[in-house]
Amino acid sequence: MKPMETPVTLETLVALCKRRGFVYSSADIYGGINGIYEFGHLGTLMKKNIRQMWTSSLDNQLGQVVQMEGALLGPEAVWKASGHVAGFHDPMVDCKACKRRFRADEFDLSKGCPVCGKKDWTEIRAFNMMFKTQLGAMEDGSSVAYLRPETAQALFVNFKNVLTTARVKMPFGIAQIGKSFRNEITPKQFLFRMREFEQMEIEWFCKEEDAQNTFDFWIKHRLEFYKSIGVDMEKIRIRAHEKDELAHYSKNCSDVEYNFPFGWKELEGIAYRGNFDLTQHSTHSGKELAVFDDATRTSYIPHVVECSVGTDRLFLTLLFDAYREDEIEGEKRVILALSPAIAPITAAFMPLTNKLSAQAKLLYETFKKTGMSVDLDESGSIGKRYRRQDEIGTPFCITYDFDSENDHCVTVRNRDTTKQERIAIDGLSEYLKNALHTWKR
Ligand SMILES: [Zn+2]
């Protein structure tokens, strides 16, 4: 096995995702929509694993975490209070020559249009990135609604509901996984910047005097999460925002960045938001959002530390991070060396020939019932089946052959090392469990 030093490109991954059914462009048969994607079978399984690892990573000594699933559509009042109606803008400019539209802050306008080269620009205008719609048949101001541009507001708006019904005590966290929508002027880099995307977000509510420690805690904790899902930590760094990058209400903000082929980019944002959000919603709704502190007999509006990562962006990161090419016996092999906790399929069961189909199927069904994500792979030569499973990241291929009939063993082949071991069927479950837990990048 000889590793090949070919740096993976975005195009390589896009092609792999399409070929193997991880990701399709939206409404593909109609030509697709820019910045919107759909996830196929393997992509769906992998996203489910990412969500599950993220959710379980939130359990820690800091305190209780409860879950929420907010609505995608919200009334204008929410987005006025949050500042999005007035301020969620990107600067937009049009090329008068070729009619293309660009974000004015992404390149040097004086160098001319990136498409046609002309220097005939419109004025730079502010473009609100929220998708606006209306509810019901009334076309007046009261029916205006927006698809949420971020998941966080649902957690602030429901803070009091959660506090009074979920039996939580300060400090605590509310976690949410769900979709957000941003009308990006120039969506790009595949899943990196999309118009419809999923966020995994936790808002941690605490006292002001604990906020800085909490912020420091989450930075460390989030790094451990990336290590736990097998990301190359050489490609991860923390970048603290400069003062002029901070939102006016934000006291401190750091990005977890990943070294993509197109440079170091934000993967997750960790922000100390002060008590801006709850204060805004309290003012705009007229509802009391302070909590009472029994110890000091005073009320206060909690401060918030937020950790927010895009599921799709993490999905893309994990693919970049896991992609390898090597050569076995003169043949090129593509591997996704994903952590078994993330890989869409944990084990693929294979009969050596069609004559052993029934026995392999029985094994497959037994493991499926335990909740393990398994595949039954019967077509093509064993070598071809190995290549296919390597390319979708399956850590173990399990072959039932003619010897299995007598020795009640199967051959387990390891994706990363290509080594094969003869394992008793009786001990297979234990063997896999152990191998999954001891997996190292
Ligand atoms: Zn142009």
pLDDT tens-digit profile, the chain (441 residues)? 677 766 799 999 999 999 999 999 999 999 989 999 999 999 999 999 999 999 999 988 888 999 999 999 999 999 999 999 988 888 999 999 999 999 998 888 999 999 999 999 999 999 899 999 999 887 777 789 999 999 999 999 999 999 999 989 999 999 999 999 999 988 889 999 999 999 999 999 999 999 999 999 999 999 999 999 999 999 999 999 998 888 878 889 999 999 999 999 999 999 999 999 999 999 999 999 999 999 999 999 999 999 999 999 999 999 999 999 998 888 889 999 999 999 999 999 999 999 999 999 999 999 999 999 999 999 999 999 999 999 999 999 999 999 999 999 999 999 999 999 999 999 999 999 999 999 988
Q: How far is the CA of 127 from the centre of ligand 1 (A)?
A: 19
Q: Which pLDDT score, from 0 to 100, does residue 2 have?
A: 72
Q: Which pLDDT score, from 0 to 100, does residue 46 have?
A: 98
Q: How far is the CA of 108 from the centre of ligand 1 (A)?
A: 13
Q: How far is the CA of 183 from the centre of ligand 1 (A)?
A: 21
Q: How far is the CA of 98 from the centre of ligand 1 (A)?
A: 4
Q: How far is the CA of 102 from the centre of ligand 1 (A)?
A: 10
Q: How far is the CA of 15 from the centre of ligand 1 (A)?
A: 29
Residue carrying the six token digits 């599950």: 52
Q: Which pLDDT score, from 0 to 100, does residue 1 have?
A: 67
Q: How far is the CA of 112 from the centre of ligand 1 (A)?
A: 8
Q: Which pLDDT score, from 0 to 100, does residue 239 have?
A: 97
- Note whether 289 and 278 are within 8 A (CB): yes
Q: How far is the CA of 101 from the centre of ligand 1 (A)?
A: 8
Domain ranges of the chain: 46-73+149-319, 345-437
Q: Which pLDDT score, from 0 to 100, does residue 61 have?
A: 84
Q: Which pLDDT score, from 0 to 100, does residue 249 have?
A: 80
Q: How far is the CA of 94 from the centre of ligand 1 (A)?
A: 8
Q: Which pLDDT score, from 0 to 100, does residue 5 have?
A: 67
Q: How far is the CA of 117 from the centre of ligand 1 (A)?
A: 6
Q: Which pLDDT score, from 0 to 100, does residue 206 have?
A: 97
Q: Is the domain covering 46-73+149-319 a CATH 3.30.930.10 domain?
A: yes
Q: How far is the CA of 124 from the centre of ligand 1 (A)?
A: 15
CATH number corresponding to 345-437: 3.40.50.800
Q: How far is the CA of 125 from the centre of ligand 1 (A)?
A: 17
Q: How far is the CA of 290 from the centre of ligand 1 (A)?
A: 53
pTM of the model: 0.94
Q: How far is the CA of 189 from the centre of ligand 1 (A)?
A: 21
Q: Which pLDDT score, from 0 to 100, does residue 107 have?
A: 86
Q: How far is the CA of 134 from the centre of ligand 1 (A)?
A: 34
Q: How far is the CA of 114 from the centre of ligand 1 (A)?
A: 7
Q: How far is the CA of 34 from the centre of ligand 1 (A)?
A: 19
Q: How far is the CA of 192 from the centre of ligand 1 (A)?
A: 25
